[in-house]
Amino acid sequence: MARPLSTSIAWKLTVANTLVSGAALLLAGLAFGAYDRATFGETLLRHLSTEAQIAASNSVSALVFNDPKAAEVTLAALRASPNIVSAEISTLEGRTFATYRRDRAAQTHAALMFPDASTEVHHVDSEQIVLARGIIFNGKQVGHVEIRSDLGEVTVRRAQYLVIVVAVLLASLSAALLLSWLSQRAISAPIVRLAAVANQISSERDYSLRATVHPQAYELGVLTDAFNDMLAQIQRRDQSLHEAAEELEERVRRRTMELDAANNELEAFSYSVSHDLRAPLRHVTGFAGLLEEHAKNQLDPQSSRYLQIITEAARRMGQLIDDLLEFSRIGRSQFHTGRVSLNELFRQAQEVVSEPSLGDRVIQWRIADLPDVEADAPTLRLAIINLLSNAVKYTSTRPQAEIDVGACEAPNEVVVFVRDNGVGFEMQYVHKLFGVFQRLHGPDEFEGTGIGLANVKRIIQRHGGRVWAESEVDRGATFYFSLPARKGST
């Protein structure tokens, strides 16, 4: 993205140099102005003092011989100085002896007071300068002359000085801008080129580009070398990652082929189990039944028991084959996830496990209100049926079975539990619960093939969740499973 010129380093260097130069020139101009004003004021005072001294000397005889006309002629000579507003000769008693007015309508002002032993005094304000000098005859003061001058010359000089300062400042700033622009190119040009290369790399993701090293800028050269070295490291890293990705892709391709081959072999095995093993089992159970029917009255009790064991073993083997095929189908079945009501799935599962085969058993069901989830309804229903069947089976020794179902929603998942008051198990063997054909109780205690909880684990893991259990011996068990929180739920 293009950035405005005001943020570039070249612009900032130019502005900084110009501001520094302008500030220095302005301070110098103000300092010289103050100095000129002070020195020019002193020059005006010296000039007025000289005028007063001349007027005092030339008016001694007029004052001694009481000749006001001669004194006025003397004061009229001050007309040559356009800044002098008025002049006045007074006697020691304060009587006005002779006057001069540049402007006849000018107002009179009070005379300056002479301290003892003073021959000259002056007063300066914002409008005028007043200077008074004593008139001496034979070592004695016989009167004094007072001259008033305006500051018109100071104002004119100040205006002229201001024009000169502004002109010099503008010329200096222009020269500073030009010099800054010329000098900053040597500083900012390498940085600008480096920024351009960085921007190109950022937009094109081409880490083979390199910045040009400036031979006359040591610090910028070090920075550019470090930048290029960083690009080289990134390029090597990307190359390594690319090679690793290609190698990983090849390994994944080989593993996929191996997995496809294994799946094909599994399909062939499933077909073999479904057809080749079932036929002999049907023969065993069929002929065992025919033998029992044919020799029912000829077999002794022990032979009948042997025949019964053969039939039951064949039935259990058939059940194992069915469970194994079901476990295999779960791993290969297609998932179609959507919004699923857990309340409805648990209701359907409860109906399945609460068949008349339970006889007179008393089961107290407590199923809380459950949230909706994103899941594949058929497979999740199978997992719930297995969990409820497990709870029903291991509470069969209780006079009254109690099965609780509830759920809680975490930030990223929904946790569901099935709790029973059955026989429980030892927690040191919990890792065996969800393995294929793993059982913590013997078949003489509770029937089953040990594959139901393995199906639960596979189904929940395919949904992106997890399963676990907690229990104490003879104090029941609690089975948990989690599912990812439904999108848009809070």
For the chain, 490 residues long, give each residue's pLDDT as a single digit of tens.
Answer: 444 444 566 666 677 777 777 777 778 777 777 777 677 777 878 888 888 888 888 888 888 888 888 888 888 888 888 888 888 888 887 788 888 887 764 555 555 555 544 578 888 777 788 888 888 888 788 888 888 888 777 777 777 778 887 887 788 777 777 776 666 666 666 676 777 777 777 777 776 777 776 665 556 667 777 777 887 888 788 888 888 888 898 888 888 888 777 766 766 666 666 666 666 777 777 777 777 777 767 777 787 777 777 777 777 666 666 656 665 665 556 667 889 999 999 998 888 888 655 667 788 899 999 999 998 888 888 888 889 988 888 888 888 889 999 998 878 889 999 999 988 888 887 877 777 656 666 565 666 556 778 888 888 888 889 999 998 888 889 999 999 887 655 4
| Range 6-167 classified under CATH 3.40.640.10 | no
Same fold flag, 6-167 and 338-484:
no
CATH class of 338-484: alpha beta
Residue pair 236/243 in contact by the 8 Å Cβ criterion: no
- Domain spans, the chain: 6-167, 208-332, 338-484
Q: In whole angstroms, give the CA distance from residue 147 to residue 54.
A: 12
Burial state string for 412-422 with b = 16 or more CB within 10 A and e = fewer than 16: eebbbbbbbbb
Give the whole-angstrom CA distance, residue 232 versus residue 207.
7
Task: List CB contacts of 221: < 8 A, sequence separation 6 or more.
Answer: 190, 213, 214, 215
> Positive or negative CA dihedral for 268, 273, 278, 284?
positive
Distance (Å, whole) CA 63 – CA 162? 45
Global confidence as pTM: 0.44
Would you give the DSSP letter of residue 432? G
Find out whether 198 and 231 touch, Cβ atoms under 8 Å.
Answer: no
